[in-house]
Structure 1
């Protein structure tokens, strides 16, 4: 039986439990493992801790990971990429080089008779108005054009500095805050009538979460991250569950 895989928040480029290069090799082992039975792979944002794609320049590094994506696509496995808040400046490279579609908004998809709403999750739900304003600026084509005029040596250095300041990568998230305080969960419960789905799959939160929504049947799945948890979700056509790669002590929250 072929399976659908979902993962997010690799944050390649910064250390976590392991160095970025060690984590990259770990991801290659995972991709090799799932390639045996994958019918489709969803990469749901923040694969890189920072990515800005100049017209003729892409960020240095990640050669093994990018090569593996090319290998999977050449083998005929569909891959979907969603931009996150750390790699929203992905433009045409993945589409032109690998044939991987780039999604900037949550996507509603049907898979084996089940409905999925899939997105990275940043900027959704109540509050966080400062970030929402900043995201609007970052997504503006004029400001993107201005940044592209800056030499990559300087521009990438400044951007990586601010990317590192945006969150502390070392301690993992360890607490589920409940339906009233998990802002993505508040957003999803509000979407139940307008965008009904069986599964609402997001990243960004950095905590593996599997939570039944207020209608009693739909589920909110947060994919966690690969800085510490190595978590991902797999759908076998009937059941969906969060699993952990090379991490036997991984925990699922929100149940």
Structure 2
């Protein structure tokens, strides 16, 4: 007689990935899905984690709203760095205050405005993408107002989805519907992608990796001047997506489709109080700017 004892081995399994890229997490806002992101980060063991902008939403940061799960994401990133993962934080528009620390490093964590890597003989260009956004460059107050409106829309959408799920219906995205139906929004996304790929081809980059527009994509773009692989890591507000580089290729990871089994947050994180999490994060040496 054989006795089979089931153990939660799956909870400890982590996929080894060469590079993981996430962006537009917007920690500190109602739209952020920190628990899903924490689940994803607990399922991978990346050599290099690239945070491609808008990770912490400083524009809408409020002491009244920063849940424990949001703090756990920060702690998880710091823990990955402590265990050997190289973490590169590329600044975006919502976390632009970090640009004053550009080219600073602390342990395995560095802060930059853009990043260029050579991946298996090919050049990869990473940047957030807000530099292409005229509304941010010329009227920052208008862009911030739009961000507050977007966050409110996401909050309303959460309530609608709760009702839909309660009655056995599928989720519905208001913001996606609006983006896809408003000609101006569709044109902005198209112009953004064209500008990024044109510049990448002109400068000889094989890959151009952005965030900012919350539109996940992995596409080969070819023009008369050449071709490049355009990639956008999407977001953790609506799409729950990331980019992964392994075995000489890029993959667009979709949490809802690619999550084969549940990976839960590390037990030590789940059991820690908010005060302990804050202490764990803040017990770090000051940033040192390279000479």
How do 1:175-190 residues align onto structure 2 when only pairs under 5 Å count?
175=180, 177=186, 182-190=190-198
Report whether the alignment pairs 1:43 with 2:51. yes
Aligned-residue RMSD, C-alpha: 3.5
* 236 and 172 in structure 1: CA distance in 2 versus 1, 3 angstrom threshold: farther
Q: Distance in 1 between matches of 2:227 and 2:198?
A: 15
TM-score (norm 2): 0.61
Structure 1 residue ranges without an equivalent (≥5)? 138-159, 251-255
Q: Distance in 1 between matches of 2:146 and 2:196?
A: 29
Report whether the alignment pairs 1:133 with 2:138. yes
Out of 216, 223, 237, which is 2:247 matched to? 237
Instruction: Determine the structure 2 residue equivalent to 1:11.
Output: 26
Instruction: Determine the structure 1 residue equivalent to 2:176.
Output: 173
Instruction: Determine the structure 2 residue equivalent to 1:144.
Output: none
Report whether the alignment pairs 1:164 with 2:172. no
Structure 1 or 2: larger strand share? 2
Instruction: Determine the structure 2 residue equivalent to 1:103.
Output: 112
Deviations 1:151-177 (Å, cap 9, x if unpaired)?
xxxxxxxxx877414664453436494
Instruction: Determine the structure 1 residue equivalent to 2:216.
Output: 208
Q: Distance in 2 between matches of 1:239 and 1:189?
A: 18
CA contact (8 A) 1:172 1:206 kept: no
Instruction: Determine the structure 1 residue equivalent to 2:287.
Output: none
Shift of 1:94: 11
Shift of 1:7: 1.0
Aligned residues: 211
Deviations 1:162-220 (Å, cap 9, x if unpaired)?
74146644534364948x96122221233144421121110011111222212474211
Higher Rg: 2
TM-score (norm 1): 0.69
Structure 1 or 2: larger helix share? 2
CA contact (8 A) 2:243 2:252 kept: yes
Deviations 1:75-98 (Å, cap 9, x if unpaired)?
010011111111111244995666
Structure 2 residue ranges without an equivalent (≥5)? 1-15, 158-173, 260-291
Q: Distance in 2 between matches of 1:52 and 1:223?
A: 22
Instruction: Determine the structure 2 residue equivalent to 1:248.
Output: 257
Q: Distance in 2 between matches of 1:96 and 1:204?
A: 24
